[in-house]
Amino acid sequence: MQISKNLVYGTHGRTWYTDESNNIAFSFYIETKCSISQLNGLTIEIANIIIKTFRILYKIELDLKSPNDIVLKNKKIGGILTETKLKGSSVQYIVIGIGINTNKENFIPQIENIATSIKKEFNIIIDNTKIIKKFCELFEKEVIERSIV
């Protein structure tokens, strides 16, 4: 994901509208020497970790729209992008971008029927730092420690 003001660029050059102070939009970089086949299903696994994070911390059930969208009531709440750099058949690095509508209350007319946020649906304020910390903890345990990446 590339952030520019309130726009984050998502899959196929689509725009992800975010809010710099109320939502989660972050990327992280992992150096690796794994084969591309070891990354099969990684985006779905990341989505499931995000879903698990909200279940653990807030008892909220979100759904996966495979392969990279987090949804609630058929509206998009978040998304995941993964990009890799290959050298031959070996992956040199992975960049994982995550965007989640947590505390956003108002959506522009172009997306108000297809997007929502946790705040809008449950009327609670999400601690974004707590979500990111728990996500990273679970990601490390469930992905990194199993040597998938």
pLDDT mean across residues, the chain: 86
Rounded Cα distance, 25 and 65, in Å? 19
CATH level 3 topology of 2-144: BirA Bifunctional Protein; domain 2 (3.30.930)
pLDDT at 14: 56
Rounded Cα distance, 91 and 71, in Å? 30
Query: pTM of this prediction?
Result: 0.85
Rounded Cα distance, 109 and 115, in Å? 10
Q: Given pLDDT bands bounded at 50, 70 and 90, which one contains residue 35? A: confident
pLDDT at 57: 98
